[in-house]
Structure 1
Amino acid sequence: MTDYVNDPTLPAPPFPGSHMVLDDCYVFVSGLTASDIQEGENAIGDIKEETRRVMRELERMLALVETSFADVLRVDIHLADLGDIGEMDSVYAEFFENDRYPARTCTESPRLSGGSGVEITLMATRPDRSR
């Protein structure tokens, strides 16, 4: 069974989509930027703080569906300026155990929502719910 979930603590998506889509095995989380998070706009312009806020929000969203960063299989990151990858990586790496990083793509996308510098989307496994 597939569930389409909008997080009530976030503004409704400004596009025809859902914050999260859940099936029996996976959770798919739509791209998230600092401008999507309440008071996240305060971080825009500081790539480290934007990344930290987005990762914390993703962590909270995963916990809502009983998953965590340990369950993340794939991450897609879009940076407004690929030159910020080192600073973004320094924060991103803090959220994963050493040598247990998910598969990842990082691209430059110069026009991110709300003027943000980073957008992150992910896919994670869900716990075995048959028990």
Structure 2
Amino acid sequence: MAIRTIYSPKVLVSPNPHSQATMAGNHFYTATVALDLEGKVVGVGDIRAQTRQALTNLTHLLEAAGGTLKDVARVMIYLSDMRYFQGMNEAYREFFHGDVLPSRATVTGTFGIPELLVEFDVIAHIEND
């Protein structure tokens, strides 16, 4: 199984030692947060804005891999505080809706950048024939 790095010019390249996303065969892996191309947190204090930015970043990475949000199979959501759960869900529904939804779980955690409120850890299955 070939492993390759996925890159989108629409998403920040991290200064940390990890790729934007990875494909292992048809399996796509990434984690996204609400950072813009300059590395600034989008929507400081606003869970809806941060959710939208992180999921927009996800959309760009999926497109770079030849996929879409419909290919997402699993989402692990990390919130800095569960009080953001409802607001995150409201913005999440703008991206994921309909009868076929990815499985998901939500937990709390802390982030290396204190202004971040949410992170999405995503697995997708993309058919690239």
The answer on whether the counterparts of 1:33 and 1:113 sit within 8 Å (CA) in structure 2 is no
Q: How much does 1:104 deviate?
A: 0.6
SS of structure 2 residue aligned to 1:75: strand
SS of structure 2 residue aligned to 1:41: coil
Q: Indicate the residue corresponding to 2:37 in structure 1.
A: 38
Check if 1:125 corresponds to 2:119.
no
Q: How much does 1:19 deviate?
A: 1.4
The answer on whether the counterparts of 2:36 and 2:42 sit within 8 Å (CA) in structure 1 is no
Matched to 1:126, the amino acid is I
What pairs up with 1:48-87 in 2 under 5 angstroms? 48-87=48-87
Q: How many residues get paired?
A: 126
Q: Indicate the residue corresponding to 2:28 in structure 1.
A: 27
Where do 4+ consecutive residues of structure 1 move more than 4 Å?
A: none
Check if 1:3 corresponds to 2:1.
no
Q: How much does 1:26 deviate?
A: 1.1
Q: How much does 1:8 deviate?
A: 4.1
Matched to 1:22, the amino acid is M
Q: State TM-score, norm by structure 1.
A: 0.85
- Segments of structure 1 that go 5 or more residues without pairing to the other structure are none
| Distance in structure 2 (CA, Å) of the matches to 1:104 and 1:122 | 9
Q: How much does 1:6 deviate?
A: 4.2
Q: State TM-score, norm by structure 2.
A: 0.86
Check if 1:97 corresponds to 2:101.
no
The answer on whether the counterparts of 2:78 and 2:120 sit within 8 Å (CA) in structure 1 is yes
Higher helix share: 1
The answer on whether the counterparts of 1:33 and 1:54 sit within 8 Å (CA) in structure 2 is yes
The answer on whether the counterparts of 1:72 and 1:122 sit within 8 Å (CA) in structure 2 is yes
